Structure 1
């Protein structure tokens, strides 16, 4: 029981805090789209980090801040060049995946695009266009540039609030990393370096990688329930949005897990998470106002996006697998 006390504490803090912060949404005081809702959404993103801090402060009192930061991926990892390359790949690759997912969605007929007229985008920014006579195409181009180049930097802080918990601590913990896991014999925490296996080889056990990725993704998806049960991300589905979003979290979480395990750093996952938050909704605004896209089907977070992400996950794990002991 002592071996899993840290996981229970982490989940209790992360889930309880997220529900507590989301209470105004359920009480009707923070409707979707309003400023209050946006603030609450950002605050909720920090609750997984509260769970990591709770584990460190109550169960890892002998671990210094520097050791804990290294164990949970807050450094750039042992190979900074690889981490930098994965960081750049995340910032460039995620917007490309978002764009490809939209194009594939249009190709298979689940979304009708209006690139020339931007009818859906015009409807979204009608108030802005009424006040400032701007060409919608120019305004959209500016927003795309901001979403790709600037927003990931701004989003990185709340994205870190999530990623330090899910990929920084929880995923290595599920993999049995001795730097963050208690030993089987004593229930006490090991003192190994981050990213090492139980055998101390510096590699991960293959039998644990996929189950850990799936489990961490399911937990990540369920943690969104305070908002997704209200239809967040998939408004037409109502409470069923909570179920559908778990699927996206498992598949996209596997990709975030790959960059975390390859780099031994949380920062590439932070960049990817921040970028997908910045670009997903903006891409769907290229749809036709006469037939708005269904986010449950179209785009990177819809079923079409799941298939695309699953293919990318299979390719990267095949070409650059997570090292395992011989």
Structure 2
């Protein structure tokens, strides 16, 4: 009995709460809590997006961004609902234990989560740039990396007649350099999602195995976007094809964000990585040449088929360099 108590105490001190101890020891997914999480997150997503459907303006609705941002906080609410179910099953838990379970606090040792957070902020725009490189190599679009003619034409159209436009090269440089700042600005909104997907759901599914947990949590993340995808969001597709593509792209991107959670035990690298990806999504508009063909978003967009290939390639690289070996992943997540 004393050994069992010692094991539980040690696990809690290391960052694992009673919920994770139960999951790891019994290899049991808390399906009741997962069901509550799934129903709550998707139900609230549809509730938030309902005005967009009722107003009938689709992607041209001026309030689209507002509702999309509000929707980002529904997984956080679903996480609270899931924790309440777990609390009833596993007894009372303090706030500090719950924060540890969600990977929010404490950051000990801090070097790894901080380092991987910085790496994620840098890596996400590089992944988007890699996708644009593939687009160019395939001849789907032309890019102007010197005069930025496409962006210059856009700026010229937006500047009032007679006004002096700043140098377009300077504007592009500022846009690219400030991506890390934009990642920080985006972080509170990304947190509303990541505390659900990588903070709670990924560890909850971990008894299924590392790869099933990564793929299922990422696929559900994609499915959760359905109310917006069916309006044409991201891909311009308003049928099940867009939903399936979103599920696929989020499952693959979710491997990368999920790896940061498993590698560090912290949700913050995924939060800032998510924020950096959102900040990088418009990079193509800065680099495209004037008069270039514009490929369909479902092919060459930031979550299109080409980027799916980039995410998959990055995941393969992580596997090949041993980043998914059991001893490298955080044992505190089961």
Q: Please state which band the TM-score falls in when normalised by the shorter chain.
A: 0.7 to 0.9
Cα 1:97–1:261 shift into 2, 3 Å: same
Distance 2:251 2:265 in 1: 20
Distance 1:285 1:24 in 2: 32
- Give 1:35 shift: 4.7
Tell me which of 33, 51, 54 is aligned to 1:24.
Answer: 51
Q: Which residue of 2 aligns with 1:52?
A: 79
Q: Please list every run of 5 or more consecutive structure 2 residues that lacks an aligned counterpart in the other structure.
A: 1-27
Q: Give the secondary-structure state (helix, strand or coil) at the position aligned to 1:320.
A: coil
Larger Cα-atom Rg:
2
Q: Which residue of 1 aligns with 2:168?
A: 136
Map 1:115-194; keep pairs closer than 5 Å. 115-122=145-152, 124-125=154-155, 128-130=158-160, 132-134=163-165, 135-146=167-178, 148-176=179-207
Cα 1:142–1:31 shift into 2, 3 Å: farther
Q: Which residue of 1 aligns with 2:309?
A: 307
Cα 1:231–1:122 shift into 2, 3 Å: farther
Q: Which moved more, 1:248-257 or 1:316-325?
A: 316-325
Instruction: Compute the RMSD of aligned alpha carbons.
Output: 2.4
Q: Please say if residues 140 and 294 of structure 2, whose CA atoms lie closer than 8 Å, have aligned partners that are also in contact.
A: no
Q: Please say if residues 110 and 297 of structure 1, whose CA atoms lie closer than 8 Å, have aligned partners that are also in contact.
A: no
- Give 1:32 shift: 2.8
- Give 1:301 shift: 2.0
Q: Which moved more, 1:295-304 or 1:223-232?
A: 295-304
- Give 1:78 shift: 3.8
Q: Which residue of 2 aligns with 1:7?
A: 34
- Give 1:212 shift: 1.1
Tell me which of 81, 87, 102 is aligned to 2:132.
Answer: 102
Q: Please say if residues 198 and 267 of structure 2, whose CA atoms lie closer than 8 Å, have aligned partners that are also in contact.
A: yes
Distance 2:58 2:300 in 1: 25
Q: Deviations over 1:39-75 (max 9, x none)?
A: 1111101110001111223441611111111001112
Q: Please list every run of 5 or more consecutive structure 1 residues that lacks an aligned counterpart in the other structure.
A: 177-206
Distance 1:82 1:33 in 2: 43
Q: Please say if residues 102 and 284 of structure 1, whose CA atoms lie closer than 8 Å, have aligned partners that are also in contact.
A: no
TM-score by length of 1: 0.82
Q: Deviations over 1:160-194 (max 9, x none)?
A: 10000000000000013xxxxxxxxxxxxxxxxxx
The structure in which a higher percent of residues are helix is: 2
Q: Please say if residues 29 and 205 of structure 2, whose CA atoms lie closer than 8 Å, have aligned partners that are also in contact.
A: no
Q: Please say if residues 112 and 293 of structure 1, whose CA atoms lie closer than 8 Å, have aligned partners that are also in contact.
A: no
Q: Give the secondary-structure state (helix, strand or coil) at the position aligned to 2:70.
A: helix
Q: Give the secondary-structure state (helix, strand or coil) at the position aligned to 2:297.
A: coil
- Give 1:308 shift: 1.8
TM-score by length of 2: 0.80
